[in-house]
């Protein structure tokens, strides 16, 4: 149960995308391995997977060092850098990058989390504004439009378009502007403690944390699954934020 602390009612629920509502299917490591192999790579799958996670972490650190500023050009550059760091043995690095970039632009390359469609419909049915707020690029719009479970989403906030990545307060200010509400009226649901929970709460929003990192927050702020949100939907429009 969420413990009421402030007096502001929730009027919008905004979700993180990857890791919360969306999951790559097949997983990223398997896709990189298969695409790399088509371009001549002989790296084992586990090596590709480990290299991807290391390269991704380095790009995250580079963005933090740059003050969390971003745009479409930066997002392209970060993914090119990740592909280049993963594969040092492909024949056509740019061709490999383009195939991977296109793959993850397709709705068919993603699955929605269990319970997500029902949770979003329940929230919208209560008159709550439903949105997605993500460190992503313009490809996210096509994913939202192409996945039936996300039909209730009315607001999509993308870091490359607002110029700031989570957990920058500027990103969360953009979320509030887009949904047309003050920060205390907006609830953020995510799976990353620093980017989602800490970033949203520092900006004055409410937050719920889903998944493994939820152990870092009070029990009242945890979600075991998005199905839990369905049971809360009938209360959210009257529920004060923590």
Residue-wise pLDDT tens digits, 134-156: 999 999 999 999 999 999 999 99
pLDDT at 116 over 90: yes
Residue-wise pLDDT tens digits, 37-54: 999 999 999 999 999 999
pLDDT at 23 over 70: yes
CA atoms of 13 and 191, how far apart (whole Å): 14
Three-state secondary structure call for residue 91: coil
Contact status, residue 166 vs residue 159, Cβ threshold 8 Å: yes
Residue-wise pLDDT tens digits, 57-77: 999 999 999 999 999 999 999
CA atoms of 159 and 33, how far apart (whole Å): 27
The arithmetic mean of pLDDT across residues 228-233, rounded, is: 68
pLDDT at 88 over 70: yes
Query: 3 burial class (0-12, 13-18, 19+ CB within 10 angstroms)?
Result: exposed
The arithmetic mean of pLDDT across residues 14-29, rounded, is: 98
- Contacts of residues 210-219 at CB distance under 8 Å and 24 or more positions apart, as own/partner, are 210/20, 211/19, 211/20, 217/193, 218/3, 218/242
pLDDT at 233 over 60: no
The arithmetic mean of pLDDT across residues 183-198, rounded, is: 96
Phi, psi of 195 (to 5 degrees): -70, -45
Residues 6+ apart with CB under 8 A from 98: none
Average pLDDT, the chain: 92
Three-state secondary structure call for residue 86: helix
Degrees, nearest 5: CA angle 241-116-130: 50
Question: Within 10 Å of residue 218's Cβ, how many Cβ atoms?
Answer: 11
């Amino acid at each position: 149960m969420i413990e009421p602390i402030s007096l502001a009612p929730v009027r919008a629920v905004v979700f993180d995308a990857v890791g919360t509502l969306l999951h790559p299917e097949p997983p990223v490591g398997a896709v990189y391995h298969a695409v790399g192999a088509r371009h001549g790579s002989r790296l084992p799958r586990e090596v590709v997977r480990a290299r991807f996670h290391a390269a991704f972490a380095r790009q995250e650190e580079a963005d933090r060092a740059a003050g969390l500023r971003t745009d479409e050009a930066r997002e392209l550059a970060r993914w090119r850098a990740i592909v280049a760091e993963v594969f040092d043995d492909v024949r056509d690095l740019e061709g490999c990058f383009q195939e991977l970039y296109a793959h993850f632009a397709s709705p068919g390359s993603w699955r929605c989390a269990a319970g997500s469609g029902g949770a979003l419909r329940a929230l919208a049915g209560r008159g709550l504004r439903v949105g997605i707020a993500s460190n992503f690029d313009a490809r996210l719009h096509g994913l939202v439009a192409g996945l039936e479970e996300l039909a209730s989403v009315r607001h999509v906030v993308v870091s490359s378009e607002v110029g700031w990545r989570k957990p920058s307060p500027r990103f969360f200010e953009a979320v509030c502007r887009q949904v047309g509400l003050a920060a205390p009226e907006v609830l953020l649901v995510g799976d990353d403690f620093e980017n989602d929970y800490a970033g949203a709460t520092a900006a004055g929003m409410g937050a719920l944390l889903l998944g493994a990192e939820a152990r870092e927050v009070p029990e009242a702020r945890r979600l075991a699954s998005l199905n839990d949100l369905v049971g809360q939907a009938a209360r959210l429009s009257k529920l004060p934020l923590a």
